[in-house]
Amino acid sequence: MSNKTQPARGMRDFLPADVRKRNYVIGIIKEVYEKYGFEPLETPAVENLETLTGKYGEEGGQLMFKILKRGEKLDVSQGEKGLSDLALRYDLTVPLARVVANYKNDLPKFFKRYQIQPVWRADRPARGRFREFYQCDVDAIGSSSMVVEAELISAVCEILQRLGFEDFIVRLNDRRILTQIVKSAGISEEKSTDALVALDKLDKIGSEGVEKELIERGIDESEAQLFVAMFEGFAGLEKANESQNTSGFDSFNQAFLNRWEEGFDENDLDELKTVKDFRQLISFCENISANQYIKIDPSLARGLSYYTGAIFEINVPDLAGSLGGGGRYDGLIGMFGKEQIPACGFSLGLERILVVMEERGMFPEELERASADVLVTIWDENSVGESLKLANELRQSGLRVFVYPEAHKLDKQLKYASQINVPFVCVMGENELKENKITLKNMQKREQQIVAREEIVQEIKRNADGSSASRK
Amino acid sequence: MSNKTQPARGMRDFLPADVRKRNYVIGIIKEVYEKYGFEPLETPAVENLETLTGKYGEEGGQLMFKILKRGEKLDVSQGEKGLSDLALRYDLTVPLARVVANYKNDLPKFFKRYQIQPVWRADRPARGRFREFYQCDVDAIGSSSMVVEAELISAVCEILQRLGFEDFIVRLNDRRILTQIVKSAGISEEKSTDALVALDKLDKIGSEGVEKELIERGIDESEAQLFVAMFEGFAGLEKANESQNTSGFDSFNQAFLNRWEEGFDENDLDELKTVKDFRQLISFCENISANQYIKIDPSLARGLSYYTGAIFEINVPDLAGSLGGGGRYDGLIGMFGKEQIPACGFSLGLERILVVMEERGMFPEELERASADVLVTIWDENSVGESLKLANELRQSGLRVFVYPEAHKLDKQLKYASQINVPFVCVMGENELKENKITLKNMQKREQQIVAREEIVQEIKRNADGSSASRK
Q: Is the pLDDT of residue A217 over 60?
A: yes
The number of angstroms, rounded, from the C-alpha of A56 to the middle of its chain's C-alpha atoms is 20
Say yes or no: A268 contacts chain B, CB-CB below 8 A. no
How confident is the model at residue B470, as a pLDDT?
A: 38
Mean pLDDT, residues A84-90: 95
Locate the chain A residue with the closest alpha carbon to B381: A280
**Are A150 and B388 within 8 A, CB to CB?**
yes
**Are A403 and B151 within 8 A, CB to CB?**
yes
How confident is the model at residue B309, as a pLDDT?
A: 94
How confident is the model at residue B193, as a pLDDT?
A: 85
Say yes or no: B403 contacts chain A, CB-CB below 8 A. yes
Mean pLDDT, residues A235-248: 72
Phi, psi of B450 (to 5 degrees): -95, 130
How confident is the model at residue B129, as a pLDDT?
A: 85
Closest CA to B170 of B10, B285, B267, B50: B285
Q: Domain spans of chain A?
A: 16-360, 370-471
Say yes or no: A81 contacts chain B, CB-CB below 8 A. no
Mean pLDDT, residues A13-32: 97
Sheet of B437-442: strand order equals B401-403, B374-376, B424-427, B437-442, B447-452
**Are B113 and A16 within 8 A, CB to CB?**
yes
Residue A191 near residue A228 (C-beta atoms within 8 A): no
How confident is the model at residue B2, as a pLDDT?
A: 43
**Are A288 and B88 within 8 A, CB to CB?**
no
Among the residue ranges A37-41, A384-388, B1-5, B373-377, the one predicted with the least confidence is B1-5
How confident is the model at residue B94, as a pLDDT?
A: 93
Instruction: Write out residues 324-363 of B within 8 Å (CB-CB) of A.
Output: 335-337
Say yes or no: B84 contacts chain A, CB-CB below 8 A. yes
Say yes or no: B402 contacts chain A, CB-CB below 8 A. yes
Mean pLDDT, residues A307-333: 92
> For all residues of chain A together, what is the average pLDDT?
90
**Are A420 and B113 within 8 A, CB to CB?**
no
Mean pLDDT, residues A250-279: 82
Which residues of A fall within a CB distance of 8 Å from B99?
5, 13, 15
Distance CA B170, CA B296 (A): 8
**Are A416 and B110 within 8 A, CB to CB?**
yes
How confident is the model at residue A246, as a pLDDT?
A: 56
Which residues of B fall within a CB distance of 8 Å from A44?
7-8, 11-13, 132
Say yes or no: B70 contacts chain A, CB-CB below 8 A. yes
How confident is the model at residue A244, as a pLDDT?
A: 52
Q: Along the 472 residues of chain B, how does pLDDT read in single tens digits? A: 345 899 999 999 999 999 999 999 999 999 999 999 999 999 999 999 999 988 887 777 889 999 999 877 777 777 677 899 999 999 999 999 999 999 988 999 999 999 999 999 999 888 778 999 999 999 999 999 999 999 999 999 999 999 999 999 999 999 998 988 898 899 998 898 889 889 988 888 999 999 999 999 999 999 999 999 999 988 888 888 875 545 677 788 888 888 877 776 777 778 888 888 888 998 898 888 778 899 999 899 887 678 999 999 999 999 888 999 999 999 888 888 778 899 999 999 999 999 999 999 999 998 988 889 999 999 998 999 999 999 999 999 999 999 999 999 999 999 999 999 999 999 999 999 999 999 999 999 999 999 999 999 999 999 887 654 333 3
Say yes or no: A58 contacts chain B, CB-CB below 8 A. no
Pick the CATH number of B16-360 from 3.30.930.10, 3.30.465.10, 3.40.640.10, 3.40.1390.10: 3.30.930.10
Residue B173 near residue B277 (C-beta atoms within 8 A): no
Mean pLDDT, residues A31-59: 93
Say yes or no: A38 contacts chain B, CB-CB below 8 A. yes
Which residues of B fall within a CB distance of 8 Å from A46?
8, 11, 65, 88, 120, 131-132
Domain A370-471 has CATH 3.30.1120.10: no
How confident is the model at residue B306, as a pLDDT?
A: 82
How confident is the model at residue A189, as a pLDDT?
A: 87
**Are B76 and A74 within 8 A, CB to CB?**
no
How confident is the model at residue A369, as a pLDDT?
A: 83
Phi-psi region of A108 (alpha: psi -120 to 50; beta: other; left: phi over 0): beta
**Residue of B41 and A124 predicted with greater confidence:** B41
Mutation target for B interface from A13, A283, A376: give the one with most B CBs within 10 A. Answer: A13
**pLDDT band at A38; cut points 50, 70, 90:** very high
Q: Is the pLDDT of residue A471 over 50?
A: no
Q: Is the pLDDT of residue A1 over 50?
A: no
Which residues of B fall within a CB distance of 8 Å from A86?
8, 65
Distance CA B301, CA B175 (A): 7
> For residue A179, what is the enclosing H or E element?
helix A175-184
Q: Check the CA dihedral A406-A411-A412-A415 and report its sign.
A: positive
Closest CA to A329 of A340, A338, A342: A342
Instruction: Write out residues 356-395 of B within 8 Å (CB-CB) of A.
Output: 371-372, 378, 381, 384-386, 388-389, 391-392, 395
Phi, psi of A380 (to 5 degrees): -155, 180
Instruction: Provide the whole-model pTM.
Output: 0.93
C-alpha distances (whole Å) from B20 to each of A24, B27, B133, B358, B362 are 19, 10, 16, 13, 14
Question: A–B: how many Cβ contacts below 8 A?
Answer: 313
DSSP string, A408-422: --HHHHHHHHHHTT-
Residue B403 near residue A151 (C-beta atoms within 8 A): yes
How confident is the model at residue B131, as a pLDDT?
A: 96
CA atoms within 13 Å, Cβ hemisphere of A445: 14
Quote helix, strand, coil % in chain A, to nearest 5: 50, 20, 35
How confident is the model at residue B290, as a pLDDT?
A: 76
Partner residue opposite B43 with nearest CB, options A1, A7, A41: A7
User: pLDDT > 90: what percent of chain A?
Assistant: 64
DSSP string, A325-385: EEEE-TTTGGGGSSS---EEEEEEEHHHHHHHHHHHT-S-GGGGS-S-SEEE----GGGHH
**Are A102 and B3 within 8 A, CB to CB?**
no
Partner residue opposite B45 with nearest CB, options A45, A109, A420: A45
Locate the chain A residue with the closest alpha carbon to B281: A385
Which residues of B fall within a CB distance of 8 Å from A367?
none
**Are B43 and A13 within 8 A, CB to CB?**
yes
Say yes or no: B113 contacts chain A, CB-CB below 8 A. yes
**Are B15 and A106 within 8 A, CB to CB?**
yes
The ipTM assigned to this model is 0.92
How confident is the model at residue B52, as a pLDDT?
A: 92
Chain B closest CA to A393's CA: distance in Å? 10
Locate the chain B residue with the closest alpha carbon to A124: B70
How confident is the model at residue A340, as a pLDDT?
A: 87
How confident is the model at residue B252, as a pLDDT?
A: 84
Partner residue opposite B42 with nearest CB, options A14, A84, A400: A14
